[in-house]
Structure formats: C-alpha cells, structure tokens
Structure 1
C-alpha cells in the first residue's frame, strides 16, 4: 500500500502542479487502533509555485481524492499556517502522526517547532470535548455499539482530559493516553479492546461496557467543568508569515522529498 500511496502523491503533484511538503497518516491507523479493513487516511500539506499566490482572486486551497481504501486530503501551505494560528487540532495531528509517507527535508521538524507557539488549550479542549459529546450520543443509542465509535469516544475523551491536566497538545497514539486512567483494570480492558479491534472489521458491534460508560461520563463532566479555567491563546502572525515566505519562494527542484 505504501507504494500505491507514494504513486498517488506523485500523480497529484503532476496533476495540480504542486510540491507536497508533508504527507502523513491520520485516523485509526495513526491513533493505534486500526481494523484490518480500515481506510488509509492520507493527509498532506502542499505548496504551489510562487506565482499562484500573487493574485487578487481567492483560489481553492484544498485537494481531495478518494480511490478505493485510499482517502487523500491536502491543504495548501497558506491555509495550513492560517489553521495553525487558530490552533486547529486536525493540523496538529497531521504534524504529530507516527506514520509519515514523505516530507521535504526538515519541513515537519521546523513546523513542529513553530507549532509549539500556537497551541491553544481552550481551542483544543473545545474540539475534543465537542467530538466526545457527539460520539457519546451515538454510542448511547443502543446496548451495542460499533467498536470504531467506542474508540473514537474514548480517544476524544482522554485527549480532553490530557489538555485539562497537562495543558499541552495531546499525543496522537491511544496507548500514550492510557496512563491518564488510574484504574489498572480499566486500562487492561481497553488494551483487550485494542487487540480485538485489530481482528474485526469496521462494522463489528460490541456490547457497551458499563464501567467504561461510567468512566467516560465522569471524565467528560470533569473536563466540561474545568473548561473555563483553560487558557485561550493566539500566537503572532509574523513567524508564520516568515515561514510561508521561506517555503513558497524556495526552488522546488532543489529539494527532493524524502520517502519515509
């Protein structure tokens, strides 16, 4: 599949006359709880030639392509940096992904350094907690729930708790969130569910676990109650402008993307 992904990225570069600066996996594969039939959610950041940006007209700044189990979504560099300034959680996840398909030398490293100045705990908490409430509503509709939805609920719940307790960007991988759970038996239950999800398809439904449901409800209530104490922050635009100008004006031919 990696060869297919790299080939698809190369085709997109030719089709749209772009440079792909970073391409990484998001979704269940990067979060650490994929099913055998999980899609490949490839997210990428790209840059146009400099002339593309020298226009008074607003232009489309996203690229989307769905081919079989391969879901490709790209954001233009300028859009990505605007979203970073707004502390967009999806962008932070693209940068943190443990599965990187390709990148221009040092691009992700430099952007991660910048990213540390733009994470807003309040924006991050609002993102993850609102998703957790949505998934909890889905999961409460029946005595059995798609295991996929259960994990989406658990991950967003724990990511919310991470922000409240640690005041930092939550880690991508689900296992890194588990130490937040003090109950070792509950941790073990979740690890068993991770192992189960690796064996079953995306449609598999699982009986709801009353202990997990109770824990999620308690943690979400706790995080909601602490939301007002979490700081709001928006960083300066100057470093992002400098980074954008540096990348957009670079000679794309002089840099060779690195397959990972």
Structure 2
C-alpha cells in the first residue's frame, strides 16, 4: 500500500493543509499481526479561510478505507494535547515511520518538546492502558502485549525515562531478570504470526495474568509528582504555533 499517495489523494479535495503523518499502533511498535491495519495518524492546519472564519470548523478528520485507518487533528487540537503531555500524541511526534512532514524545523521542535514532558501524565496513561487490556473474555495476544507494553512504559515513566516505541528496544530498557520481560520476549514472535483476534491458550492466560497483576500491584503503589513546568511548555507551544501559522498564512 502506498500510504504517501493515499494521503496526497485525500487532501486533493480538501481545504486543509496536511502537516505531519506517521504510522501508529502495532506496526510502529514492531508487533504487527498479518492482518493489522495501517494506523496513519497526524496533524493538519485549517485553510486560511477556515482559520479566519467566525464559524467553528471540525478539528478532526477520520477516514476508514479497508485497512487504511486515518486520523488527523488540527494544529490547535494537537498543541492542546501536547500541552498536557498527552502520551498518545507524543508517540506520534516520536514515531520513526514518517509518511509526510511539512513542519518547519521539525527536529528542533521535537527535541525541545520532549525536554518539557510531564512523566506523571505518561505514568497514568500507560498504567491505564495496561489495565484496559486485561479483559478476561477477550484475552488475545494483541490485548496482552498492549498491557505488557503499557506496564513497561509506566515503570520507565516513574524513573523519568522515555519509553522506546519499538517493543524490542523497550524490552532492553527493562531489568533483564524481570519475569514479564522473559514471557514477552518468548511470545513476541508467536504474537506476530497470529491474527488480531487470536486468543492465548488457557494455560498461558493463567500464567500471564499472574505476571500482569503482580506488576500492576507494584506500579500502582508508586507515587509520582508532576515533572515539568506547565507554563514553560505552554509558552513554547504558543510561540511555535504563532511562527508556524505565519509561515503558512503569511
């Protein structure tokens, strides 16, 4: 599938300016199944007419076309989420599978942004993600690995370490003696060969559930305070937004 071409075709009949699009989800994390969708995520800038219009325009574009799953936020929505250190949007910013990028001075913007991250926001997001994957009647390989990834990322957030996006690189950030890491490393290749809805054998469900619950109990007892200066982050985003809009709108 030519993702770049699909993005360009999508915006041919739209007024918005495409800015930045990446691959998200399991393909980005290095644990895609044979039938995984292409989860394309990113940001756009409203047209000049939309920007100056007194009427409110929708801040979201959503397209589902077969296995092409496309979501785009407008710049204001994106920056509003980044101001809160939203972990999902931060993953998009950090993604290494980039299909389209028209952000001025992107690397400089990204590096400065990551210096201002609140690890407390990451911790709560990833811990919640892990708990959400533990649904007893839907114990798929996909859900289990989402939980594992969430718990490992939450643990690193308590140490103010940015979790790697690639699952194998994430493993390397975790203690080599961690039993959850051992289980995940053993079963990653099996997960990649299974379809999205394939469930673990019952005996394995019991084992991994025990490991997940033990890790959740440990992490839930930890205390983490806000780690950034929120006003400093907001001021930086305001400055960048102003310059970017001047660049495109003139």
Normalised by the length of structure 1, the TM-score is 0.85
Unaligned 5+ residue runs, structure 1? 254-260
Mapped contact 2:16–2:45 kept (Cα < 8 A): yes
Alignment-derived partner of residue 160 in structure 2: 167
For structure 2, the residue ranges without an aligned partner over 5 or more in a row are none
Higher RCO (CA < 8 A, seq sep 6+): 1
Q: Name 2:16's counterpart in structure 1.
A: 18
Task: Give the whole-Å Cα distance in 2 for the aligned partners of 1:105 and 1:128.
Answer: 28
Asked if the contact 2:133/2:146 (under 8 Å) is kept, the reply is yes
Contact conserved, 1:162 with 1:168, CA < 8 A, in 2?
A: yes
CA distance in 1, matches of 2:207, 2:248: 56
From 152, 167, 177, give the equivalent of 2:170. Answer: 177
Q: Is the 8 A contact 1:65 1:71 kept in 2?
A: yes
Cα offset for 1:14? 2.2
| Structure 1 equivalent of residue 244 of structure 2 | 247
Partner of 2:56: 58
Cα displacement string for residues 119-166 of structure 1 (whole angstroms, at most 9, x for unaligned residues): 211111111111211212x0xx25x821111111111111111101x2
Contact residue 179 and residue 211 of structure 2 kept, 8 A: no
Compared CA separation, residues 225 and 185, structure 1 to 2 (3 A): closer
User: What's 2:114 paired with?
Assistant: 116
Contact 2:148–2:180, Cα closer than 8 Å, also in 1? no
Deviates most, 95-104 or 174-183: 174-183
**Normalised TM-score (structure 2):** 0.88
Q: Which residue of 2 aligns with 1:145?
A: 139
Q: Which residue does 2:226 correspond to in 1?
A: 231
Q: Larger deviation: 144-153 or 209-218?
A: 209-218
* Distance in 1 of aligned mates of 2:108 and 2:76: 15
